[in-house]
Structure 1
Amino acid sequence: MNKIRVGVIGCGSIAKYRHLPEYLGNQLVDIVAVCDIVEDRVNEIANDYDAQAYTRYEELLAQSDIDAVSVCTPNYLHAPISIAALNAGKHVLCEKPMAISTEEAEAMNEAAASAGKNLMIGHNQRFVPSHQKARLLIESGEIGKIYSFRSAFGHGGPEQWSADGEDSWFFKKEEAFIGAMGDLGVHKTDLLRFILGEEFKEVGAFVETSAKEKASVDDTAVCVLKTESGVIGTLAASWSYVSREDNSTIIYGENAILRLEDDPVNSLIIQYKNGEIVKYELGGIQSNDGDGQTTTHVIDEFITSILEKRTPAVSGAEGLKSLQVVLAALESSNTKQFTAI
């Protein structure tokens, strides 16, 4: 079987610690090109992976022997680079949030359809074992009617993770567009849609900047969400959690409560109505606090979907729906009213 020849555009931390190592670990992939506007950075990465270095993504996309690309750039470049790559005949794995507007995301999906190429968005929480188990339990009816939920994703901020530290694009509105809600909250909107198996229809949100004095984007957001069937719950996203990362979700059902990634050992705890408690050690969720060795399964799904000529699990259409919840939360915060999605 011929290997998929891959290029990575943007060589910051998400590429360095997630995309590139996971591509390297996939035996069906050859990393052939990398691109970054910082010449020293891209040359170092190119040397590490024996790949061709580019400082202009247009030149990378002009290479006809590249089958697929990862777009790991600041948020405002996700759509233009992804569309250019699709138009150049490449499959695209784009980091989240997929775009900074509904219009951009729709244009990405139209480009993918026109090109007949896969567009996948890098939402990794669907692939976490505890999250997949929870979805199955809810689908099977074992948990009964879902009443409510609460989900959080927070840590100390991207300066601890980004290649540029406190000078990171994450804090700049003109490059990031949105802060913690787009960085972390969009992961949770995607996860909750996946676990609950339905769409959100309304949101009320407070989106604020309280911890990062130099940031021109939000660092803390709290949302109240309502699904199409009437399930209500809360979502919190923050760069202001100064101790250990919180990436937990709790689902309150008719027959049981599901506690996901809420315990350091047991990734899923089921507390049944009758008092029974079942604990599962299913492997930890990937964390910025950890050593980065836990695979996200995003790369494997992207490559497999290309080879099998099928729609990836987190398609551009799915990415758009998760983004629209975030955009509605921003509107709600600005208008001080509940916003329809």
Structure 2
Amino acid sequence: MNIAIIGCGTMGMTHAHNLGKMPGVKVSGVADLIQKRADQAAEACGAVPYKDWELMLEQVKPDTVVVCLPTYLHKSLVLKLAERGLHIICEKPAALTLEDAKEMKAACSKHGVRLFIGHVVRFFPNYRNAFDQVRSGKIGEAKMAYFKRHGSYPIGVSFWYRDRSKSGGVIMDLMIHDIDFACWLFGDVESVYASVTKPSLSMEYAQVTLKFSSGAIANLTGFWGYAGPFTTQFEISGKEGIIRFDSNQVQSLDLKVATGGDDQKVAVQVPSSPTLHDPYYDEVKHFIECIREGSEPIVSAADACRAVEIALACEHSAQTGQPVRMGGITS
């Protein structure tokens, strides 16, 4: 498959490294307005570097384009690529409004091309392992979960993150990972309640409670400005056990299941599935296989639209200080 990359920042470089070693894939061109970044990405995957993405498409004629631009630029580029008949793998979130995300999805459907949004957490071994454990009934019916995602404030590449009209803030850009995973785990969200505080230009903290139609509850925290290492944690509780994960503590799940006797209550370490490549490699490989085989992806464009809708509902709740039922303010 002939692939091109537009945007050679952190995620563009990640995809360049992975696609450059993926069997059956040729990265023919990479484009970035900053020539140095385009050159570095090109070297990583053996492609030709460009500053002009339109010239690149004319010359290398890819089948699929990986879009790694800032969020506020996703819609306009995706619509143009769809009109050209190109399949699209776009970084999350899909867009900053539900209307834009739906328009992107509709345009790709109209032009007969595939649209994949990179909600990569579904491909992280520990998260996928936890999902499988819940689905298998290991902890009984799961009714409560807690997700945490803390990282440094994204600076250095540009300051667009600080403009909420371009990034959407910590909920839309960071917490949306856990919003998507929680929806994958529990299904439809009935209502949300959220609070956001931004004590400085380089710090933003959010807390969200999602209530699901199934009766399950998920509490999420997202933090930009954390001084320590990037941290993810989750805890999923069921009627018969609990699953815990802390990226700073272990690289496998801690699964505790209730048994008949106290002497049998032991922690069972469930190791993460062994992987040769990182989750971003597995994610894009999966999307490429879906294009080749015409199969449905683990995360659909509809899932990505839903994540945007929920993130926007959370923002509205934070602004008003009131719970928001889904179907409320989502623009």
Q: Which one of 187, 193, 196 corresponds to residue 183 of structure 2?
A: 193
User: 1:1-341 residue pairs with structure 2 within 5 A?
Assistant: 4-16=1-13, 18-63=14-59, 65-159=61-155, 164=157, 167-176=158-167, 178-196=168-186, 198-210=187-199, 213-214=200-201, 219-261=204-246, 264-274=249-259, 275-282=265-272, 294-296=278-280, 297-341=282-326
Alpha carbons 2:145, 2:236 under 8 Å: kept: yes
- In 2, the alpha carbon distance for the partners of 1:173 and 1:151 equals 23
Following superposition, the deviation at residue 243 of structure 1 comes to: 1.5
Between 1:82-91 and 1:57-66, the stretch displaced more is 57-66
Following superposition, the deviation at residue 317 of structure 1 comes to: 0.9
1:288 match: none
Following superposition, the deviation at residue 52 of structure 1 comes to: 2.6
Alpha carbons 2:211, 2:218 under 8 Å: kept: yes
- In 2, the alpha carbon distance for the partners of 1:336 and 1:199 equals 22
2:262 match: none
Would the alpha carbon gap of residues 21 and 46 (structure 1) be closer, same or farther in structure 2, given more than 3 Å must change? closer
Amino acid at match of 2:180: D
- DSSP 3-state at the match of 2:231: coil
Amino acid at match of 2:290: S
Cα RMSD of the aligned pairs, angstroms, is 2.1
Alpha carbons 2:125, 2:279 under 8 Å: kept: no
Q: Which runs of 5+ in 2 are unaligned?
A: 260-264, 327-331
- DSSP 3-state at the match of 1:241: coil
Following superposition, the deviation at residue 263 of structure 1 comes to: 5.9
Following superposition, the deviation at residue 237 of structure 1 comes to: 0.8
Amino acid at match of 2:201: K
Q: How many residues align?
A: 319
- In 1, the alpha carbon distance for the partners of 2:32 and 2:165 equals 19
- DSSP 3-state at the match of 1:225: strand
Following superposition, the deviation at residue 127 of structure 1 comes to: 1.3
Alpha carbons 2:8, 2:31 under 8 Å: kept: yes
Following superposition, the deviation at residue 133 of structure 1 comes to: 2.4
Runs of 4+ that moved beyond 4 A: none
- DSSP 3-state at the match of 1:97: coil
Alpha carbons 2:144, 2:217 under 8 Å: kept: yes
Alpha carbons 1:61, 1:88 under 8 Å: kept: no
Query: So what's the TM-score if we normalise by structure 2?
Result: 0.90
- DSSP 3-state at the match of 2:62: coil
Alpha carbons 2:78, 2:88 under 8 Å: kept: yes
- DSSP 3-state at the match of 2:225: coil
Q: Deviations over 1:179-225 (max 9, x none)?
A: 221222011011111223x1212110012212xx336xx72111011
Query: So what's the TM-score if we normalise by structure 1?
Result: 0.87
- In 2, the alpha carbon distance for the partners of 1:251 and 1:276 equals 17
**Structure showing the higher strand proportion among its residues:** 2
Between 1:146-155 and 1:45-54, the stretch displaced more is 45-54
